[in-house]
Structure 1
């Protein structure tokens, strides 16, 4: 078994097609099929089901796929660390930042970090907090910001923020003037939600279910200001992070606290456990922790 076999196997799992995978890998389809057969023979397990028109990953193959991802990432970490040792450079890293969080907290911190560490290479990828976890596990991102909770067996976690989620309505809404409501009070309201793929979507949806109803979602958006202005126009109730609401002009809306333990916005820096982090990434983690301390 070698790294090439595992890389080829992962590509077939991703594409669920030998022809598409061979195109991506720039090898012939027979050569790819032969490599996968050799891997199956060495392991002694059937990893792919080719008995139907559509290719499937077997249950055994799914287990091997997860281990192959870890092996491949470890190999990439090894080569990256070796290159840094040879070149004596501080290195670079990819930082995953959800759009809502980015506009709320990080522009000034990023600017300050670049002034203090001008040699550090930082690439920023905008990604929903829910998708962030998978991107970290796949190695597309080195360090990201997530909304807690996340799996502490897979990730290192450094909590940096704890804020509430607030309800925003029009000033003529029946709830206007109240300081606090319970989630069950929103049963018959139209919800203005962040898109699926954002952790806030799951948090609000789960809170509604626990309150005994499924939310009536008028529409979803990735833009907090659009949700805010839609609530101001009387289209429904927007549930937004406290920090976002406080950035906006709240003179023409009603803002209410929601008495629900689920509706907290706890943010953390996370990265994959046992992954290699460049000097630049380590400096960034410490810098952010100090900034929020």
Structure 2
């Protein structure tokens, strides 16, 4: 059974004759007649009662015609949805972000994006950089936040944010008054860090080992608010990324942000797979981010 056969049959019923159906379909009358005969042959039933005066439907013909009408309706909806996809007006984008940047950074961007594309949904997944990369290459995400350096053989990306690492302590901490600190000063401190899988954690551990000590980690959490609250309650120190555009600000918390001597710099980019299919919605989102963030 072919879709063309059903379309021809449906048009014959609507027009009431093979000749009128052929005109409506821009084809010949024999083509329409043969398509309907082939359909009846394949189904093993008679669909039409042919007479000199008119065409009537059999019981099976009525059943088939009712399904033909539903199919035509669905095909019409499909074409509308396909056109919307082709013009980038609808769809879902699966975006991977880290708690070091958070969805808050994108709030204004998404608000502006939705003014132009109100029917494209952005779904955020928050995790560490390593799990995000795995999810991207497993096809579970379309776009992710990436830390440099990036494997350019696998990724397309652009840098949108830069900064350095800063020490975060309570205002009651002995280091709170310092204008700058060095890494050796921190070797006896209790560290509160992001868990494994986060690039910022890797940078911190690397610097500690370069300076001859393993950090004493007393707590790990992927929740930024909890991490800050632990520092606020004087349970330890942490080190967080500060970007060039907006200094770290912890509002009413009893917190100090202190630069580190010989700064450790970081870069964030928007990344997606070089190979593999990208949806219309994902392409639109990436283009919008490039125009907005660069």
Same fold (TM over 0.5): yes
Q: How does 1:85-164 map to 2 (within 5 A)?
A: 87-88=82-83, 89=85, 90=88, 91-164=91-164
- CA separation of 1:259/1:276 partners in 2, compared to 1, >3 Å: closer, same or farther? farther
| Residues 232, 253 of structure 2: 8 Å contact kept | no
- CA separation of 1:230/1:92 partners in 2, compared to 1, >3 Å: closer, same or farther? closer
- CA separation of 1:104/1:265 partners in 2, compared to 1, >3 Å: closer, same or farther? farther
Match of 1:285 in 2: 286
Match of 2:217 in 1: 217
Q: How does 1:12-51 map to 2 (within 5 A)?
A: none
- CA separation of 1:151/1:260 partners in 2, compared to 1, >3 Å: closer, same or farther? farther
- CA separation of 1:228/1:107 partners in 2, compared to 1, >3 Å: closer, same or farther? same
Instruction: Flag structure 1 segments of 5+ consecutive residues without an equivalent.
Output: 1-82
For residue 101 of structure 1, give the secondary structure of its aligned residue in structure 2.
coil
Q: CA RMSD in A?
A: 2.5
Bigger Rg, structure 1 or 2: 2
The Cα shift of 1:158 comes to 0.7
Task: Tell me the distance in 2 between the aligned counterparts of 1:228 and 1:84.
Answer: 51
Task: Tell me the distance in 1 between the aligned counterparts of 2:292 and 2:170.
Answer: 35
For residue 178 of structure 2, give the secondary structure of its aligned residue in structure 1.
coil
- CA separation of 1:260/1:149 partners in 2, compared to 1, >3 Å: closer, same or farther? farther
The Cα shift of 1:192 comes to 0.7
Whether 1:269 aligns to 2:270 is yes
Match of 1:197 in 2: 197
- CA separation of 1:229/1:85 partners in 2, compared to 1, >3 Å: closer, same or farther? same
| Residues 192, 238 of structure 2: 8 Å contact kept | yes
Match of 1:254 among 253, 256, 262: 256
- CA separation of 1:239/1:104 partners in 2, compared to 1, >3 Å: closer, same or farther? farther
The Cα shift of 1:254 comes to 2.2
- CA separation of 1:198/1:99 partners in 2, compared to 1, >3 Å: closer, same or farther? same
The Cα shift of 1:159 comes to 0.5
- CA separation of 1:231/1:131 partners in 2, compared to 1, >3 Å: closer, same or farther? same
- CA separation of 1:249/1:119 partners in 2, compared to 1, >3 Å: closer, same or farther? closer
Deviations 1:204-246 (A, max 9, x none): 1111111211110011011112222221222111111225862
For residue 119 of structure 2, give the secondary structure of its aligned residue in structure 1.
coil
- CA separation of 1:197/1:148 partners in 2, compared to 1, >3 Å: closer, same or farther? same
For residue 168 of structure 1, give the secondary structure of its aligned residue in structure 2.
strand
For residue 292 of structure 2, give the secondary structure of its aligned residue in structure 1.
helix
Instruction: Flag structure 2 segments of 5+ consecutive residues without an equivalent.
Output: 1-77
TM-score, length-scaled by structure 2:
0.65
TM-score, length-scaled by structure 1:
0.65
Task: Tell me the distance in 2 between the aligned counterparts of 1:92 and 1:102.
Answer: 19
- CA separation of 1:130/1:260 partners in 2, compared to 1, >3 Å: closer, same or farther? farther
Paired residues in the alignment total 210
For residue 101 of structure 2, give the secondary structure of its aligned residue in structure 1.
helix
Worse-matched range after superposition: 93-102 or 216-225:
93-102
